[in-house]
Amino acid sequence: MKKIILIIICFLLCGCYNYNELNKLSIVSSVSIDKKDNKYLVGAQIMNIKNNESDEGSKIIVYEEEGKTINDALRKINNKSSRKLYAGHFSKLVISEEIAKENIVDILDLFLRKAEIKDEFTITVVKNIEASKLIKIVTLPDQIPADFVKNSIQTSNIETALTNSSKLDEFMSYYLKKGIDPVITTIKVNKYKKDADTTKNTLTSNPSTYIELNNIGITYKGKLEKYLNQDETIGYNIIRNRISNMIIPVKCNNKYSSILINKSKTKRKVMKNKDKYIININVNSSGILTESSCNNIKELEKNTKKEINKYINKVLNVKAKSKFLGFERDIYLKYPKENNYNYEVKVNTNFKVTSKGELYEKK
């Protein structure tokens, strides 16, 4: 009997901790942060505002508040919403360029401390407009912009090598590690018009305003330093071994053929040569011919190697203080006691066409 009473007491003491009914929650999907007169302007995008599926109108609502700190503003937002803000499904943080250049890590501090938030959300910098405007835009096919951005980052990561997603955990671990700096995803809004935050934006087949993923930005000491262009982004992805699929146009007989690289592995090796380090970058890749106007496979392979080398060289020539390529980290991992970081990069590329296609063989 004593045991049973003890068990019951155990239940009642901890009882219903963290209990929330679903219809008493406002699910926050993304937060935007802008700066205005030394104050933070914070917007919270809330997803579950409809009563049923067939309701017309926007699927999201955005509450905005000013505050001396971000948490201050979020607290004020709680007054506007009748329900408790719930950040368990928080998936995207949008910060304006201005703040990103000032300090990113200071802002992330709050999101790291909150236990409710998964540390897997994407950090994005919006380039040409205020962050709060971006999270109000109604998009298709994912009517919730946070989903839209999350899905398009996923797709572009798999299908192209044109961008890179910066999740909170990865961002912070790169920031804290010695010899490497994190990169950050950027978003661009095209042709922003006033009615972009109404469903009018999605009623036509040619929406006037749309969100587009852009090239990555590099950071130095937790601050945005500069943006890479498209070729440099591809080069960064090749060096950091993040290619799963990529299409490159390759010149052959004065015409262009397409090559789909579906396997690519990059290894970086550090060697010491007197008081200099040599970093060997070995790229092993193979691909298939997807669009061809040329029947000289050897020339194609040679030119593809050249293309890949061109991407890599472009990113190596970027002049920045940021250690976004992480070579210093490679040296540190192999020779932890040394303090001298003079290095030279050597690139070695291999490429093979694995499948030519029947059309070609008939020629």
Partner 1 sequence: MNVNTLIKNNPDLKIRNIIIDNIEIKIIYFESLCESSDINDFILKPITINKLNTISLIKNMLPSSNFKDINNEKDLLFCLYSGFTIININNDFVSLETKYSLDSGISEASNEKVIKGPKDSFSENYQNNIGLIRKRIRTKKLKLKEYIIGNESKTKVSLFYLDDKVNKELLDEINNRFNNINLDYILNSNSIIDTLSNNSIFQDYIMTERPDYVTYNLINGRIAILVENTNQVIIIPRFFMDNFMNVDDNYQNYKNVNITRIIRFIAFIVAIITPSFYIALTTFNQETLPTSILINFSMQREGVPFPSFVEALILSLTFEILREADTRIPLVVGTSMSIVGALVLGEAAAKAGLISPIMIIVIAISSVSSLLFNDNDLVNTIRIYKIIFLIFSGIMGLYGLFISILILIIKICSLKSFNYDYLNNLKRFILRR
Residues in contact with partner 1 by CB under 8 A are 11, 14-23, 25, 27, 29, 47-48, 50-53, 86, 88-89, 91, 116, 118, 147
Q: Which is nearer to partner 1, 8 or 359 (CB)?
A: 8
Nearest to 191 by CA among 211, 205, 215: 211
Q: Token pair of 13, please?
A: 């003491």
Query: Shortest Cβ distance from residue 52 to partner 1 (Å)?
Result: 6
16 Rama class: left (phi>0) / alpha (psi -120 to 50) / beta: left
Distance of alpha carbon 223 from alpha carbon 226, whole angstroms: 9
Query: Shortest Cβ distance from residue 211 to partner 1 (Å)?
Result: 18
DSSP of 179-196, one letter per residue? T---EEEEEEEES--GGG
Q: Which is nearer to partner 1, 17 or 298 (CB)?
A: 17
Q: Which is nearer to partner 1, 48 or 198 (CB)?
A: 48
Neighbours of 336 (CB within 10 A): 8
Q: Which is nearer to partner 1, 167 or 356 (CB)?
A: 167
Query: Shortest Cβ distance from residue 352 to partner 1 (Å)?
Result: 40
Q: Give percent helix, percent strand, percent coil of the chain, each to the nearest 5.
A: 35, 35, 35
Distance of alpha carbon 219 from alpha carbon 166, whole angstroms: 12
Q: Which is nearer to partner 1, 50 or 240 (CB)?
A: 50
Query: Shortest Cβ distance from residue 336 to partner 1 (Å)?
Result: 38
Distance of alpha carbon 259 from alpha carbon 353, whole angstroms: 8
Q: Which is nearer to partner 1, 1 or 13 (CB)?
A: 13
Query: Shortest Cβ distance from residue 26 to partner 1 (Å)?
Result: 9
Distance of alpha carbon 325 from alpha carbon 316, whole angstroms: 8
Query: Shortest Cβ distance from residue 79 to partner 1 (Å)?
Result: 21
- Residue 282: φ, ψ to 5°: -105, 115
